[in-house]
Amino acid sequence: MEREKITLTGVPETLLSTLYARAVDSRSRHSLLHDRTALDTVRRVDYDFRRTGMTSVNAAGVALRARCLDDWTAEFLARHPRATVLHLACGLDTRAHRVARFPETRWIDVDLPEVVALRNRLLPPADGDHRTLATSVTADGWLEELPADRPVVAVLEGLVPYLRQEDGERLIRRITAHFPGGQLLFDCLNGLGVRAQRLIPLFRRTGATLHWGIDDPRALERLHPGLTCLDVIRGCDLPGVRRIPPLSRAEARLTSLVPGLRDVFRLVRFEFPAGEGR
């Protein structure tokens, strides 16, 4: 089998780390995601996955976060089957394959052009109303051109800390202004997590830089009238944490005991109402 040589660097290269984590999870008897496509994709690329520094202990954490975002997405779709799913910074993630969609659900996977090109070569297309869009999420125009006829669930996994605060806040403002209501689901690091980034081998090796640390996710409610924070869940308290392998569970437990560390990584869910005139 001819393997796809990976030439990504910087932030796009970090998608190999989360892909690998899902592959490791899928091989575990404690698997949360059962993402066989991730395992197949890992086998089809020519890349030294040791660069990711990913171990089975932290792979379980990535799987937990993905599982929670999958479940929140599915919950939203169960209430709004015709919704648009805006999956930003999709990387090589197959959320569209994992989450139960409805025939009328519209799914849009978005990432940078070099990532979307790789994705199109490596991943099978998802069925139903599914498309990929090659753009930087911070570029002008692309979002405003999307149909705004349905509520949206925007899923941003592994993206927000890489954005500059002004770009991230502008993105949230654009999504909430454009769509007739919906939810925003994302993971974030606090300021300490961003300041400590050079301790993490992945960032040293790829050269990716984290910019935006969010100490108080609820403060983002000011970005749009009616934007409401429904959930802030610490990484160490995510649903499913009792099902991960014992060593990963022990790490989560230790993190939860250290005040400075327990808020480093969190998942958040926001809801926003339809704007005036909708």
Structural contact between residues 70 and 35, judged by C-beta atoms closer than 8 angstroms: no
Q: What is the smallest separation between the CB atom of 27 and ligand SAM, expressed in angstroms?
A: 17
Q: What is the smallest separation between the CB atom of 33 and ligand SAM, expressed in angstroms?
A: 11
Query: For residues 15 and 87, what is the distance between their CA atoms, to the nearest angstrom?
Result: 14
Crossing angle of helices 56-79/246-257, nearest 10°?
80
The one-letter amino acid code at 100 reads A
Tell me which residues touch ligand SAM (CB under 6 A). Answer: 11-12, 14-15, 18-19, 89-91, 93, 111-112, 115, 136-138, 157-159, 162
In this complex, which beta carbon is closest to ligand SAM, that of residue 212 or of residue 272?
Answer: 212
Which among 52, 64, 61, 65 has a CA at the least distance from the CA of 14?
52
Query: For residues 86 and 162, what is the distance between their CA atoms, to the nearest angstrom?
Result: 18
In this complex, which beta carbon is closest to ligand SAM, that of residue 14 or of residue 190?
Answer: 14
By beta carbon distance, the residue nearest ligand SAM is 91
Q: What is the smallest separation between the CB atom of 2 and ligand SAM, expressed in angstroms?
A: 23
In this complex, which beta carbon is closest to ligand SAM, that of residue 60 or of residue 89?
Answer: 89
Query: For residues 179 and 171, what is the distance between their CA atoms, to the nearest angstrom?
Result: 12
In this complex, which beta carbon is closest to ligand SAM, that of residue 82 or of residue 174?
Answer: 174
In this complex, which beta carbon is closest to ligand SAM, that of residue 77 or of residue 89?
Answer: 89
Q: What is the smallest separation between the CB atom of 226 and ligand SAM, expressed in angstroms?
A: 26
Assign 3-state DSSP to the chain and report helix, strand, coil percentages, each to 5.
45, 20, 35
Q: What is the smallest separation between the CB atom of 99 and ligand SAM, expressed in angstroms?
A: 13
The backbone torsions φ and ψ at residue 54, rounded to the nearest 5 degrees and listed phi first, read -75, 130
